[in-house]
Amino acid sequence: MNVRRALTSLLPAVMVPLAGCATLSALRQEPLATGVQRTFPTPLEPTVAAARQAVTKVGVAIRSDTALAPHAWMLLGEKGTSGWSWSALVRVVAQRAESSRTVVNVVTRRRLAGNIGVRPDLSVAIFDSMETSLGPATVPAGTRVRLTWREGNATLLGELLDRRGDTLVVYNPALRSQITPTVRELRALEVSRGRRSAAWPGEIAGSVIGMVIGGVIGARNPTGGWVIISREVTSLRSFVLGGFAGALAGSLVGSAVVSDRWRRVPPDRLTIQP
């Protein structure tokens, strides 16, 4: 086999995932308001401490932990490389707001733009872990909730409007009216953390299917016979390119499938932010 020819043939497949490469230095320079934002009703210092615990819990190693100013803090981290995926970079910025509140922004960047093995967003997992550490869950009025009653496991999707003592005020869109369940009546209370698409699962499934199809197509030589992939450059190139084409197609299809991201919250710890 001609080594130079082999490398030349594989160059396009290798350059596709390397086209976009994120770095911690570049991530540090992005505007502080970039990323997914959430406000916590706690001072800056305990919020930063909760952020440190949260990023470590999701498998991110902290590479930089610095104060930007008396009122702001930045954490930079990296989720390690595995046999299937390259690493992802994460930045958490916490800024003090009025009334002892802290605004937190989380950014996740794949180190390689074509990396199909890393979740595109770790913000939900980080925020959920922070809320668990910081105590009572505070959600804005109008948040979508899913309620399950103790009796009969009846489930309701609605909008949380208010809390009056141990009674919740929830708008039922199906009946266009309000209901007022008590905390004791509920078996489960789940709060929507926004809507997500199935782009990432579709990306993974599409890449596997694409690699299989690409490998099968590339394994046939021009005379119609079959060859060993390891001895045929065309086979390996088709295998790699098939994986990236499948990942792109799977991501596009998955993007059209959108659902709520639910987080279970103890009803007795829930507070409503007007």
Mean pLDDT of 161-179: 89
Q: How far is CA 88 from CA 77, 184, 211, 273, in A?
A: 9, 42, 23, 33
Q: Look at residue 64 and give its three-state secondary structure.
A: strand
CB 242 within 8 A of CB 249: no
Domains in the chain: boundaries: 20-135, 139-194+262-274, 202-255
Q: How confident is the model at residue 124 (pLDDT cuts 50, 70, 90)?
A: confident
Beta pairing class for 137-140 and 102-110 = unpaired
Pick the CATH number of 139-194+262-274 from 1.10.540.10, 3.30.565.10, 3.40.718.10, 2.30.30.520: 2.30.30.520
Has residue 100 got a pLDDT over 50? yes
What is the number of alpha carbons within 13 Å of residue 156 lying toward its C-beta? 24
CATH topology of domain 20-135: TATA-Binding Protein (3.30.310)
Has residue 52 got a pLDDT over 80? yes
Q: How confident is the model at residue 252 (pLDDT cuts 50, 70, 90)?
A: confident
CB 105 within 8 A of CB 236: no
pTM (whole model) above 0.75: no
Q: How confident is the model at residue 7 (pLDDT cuts 50, 70, 90)?
A: very low
d(CA 259, CA 263): 13
∠ CA 110-59-47, nearest 5°, is 100
Has residue 222 got a pLDDT over 60? no
d(CA 39, CA 47): 10
Q: How confident is the model at residue 220 (pLDDT cuts 50, 70, 90)?
A: low
Helix axes 123-134, 44-57, angle to 10 degrees: 130
The per-residue pLDDT for 87 is 76
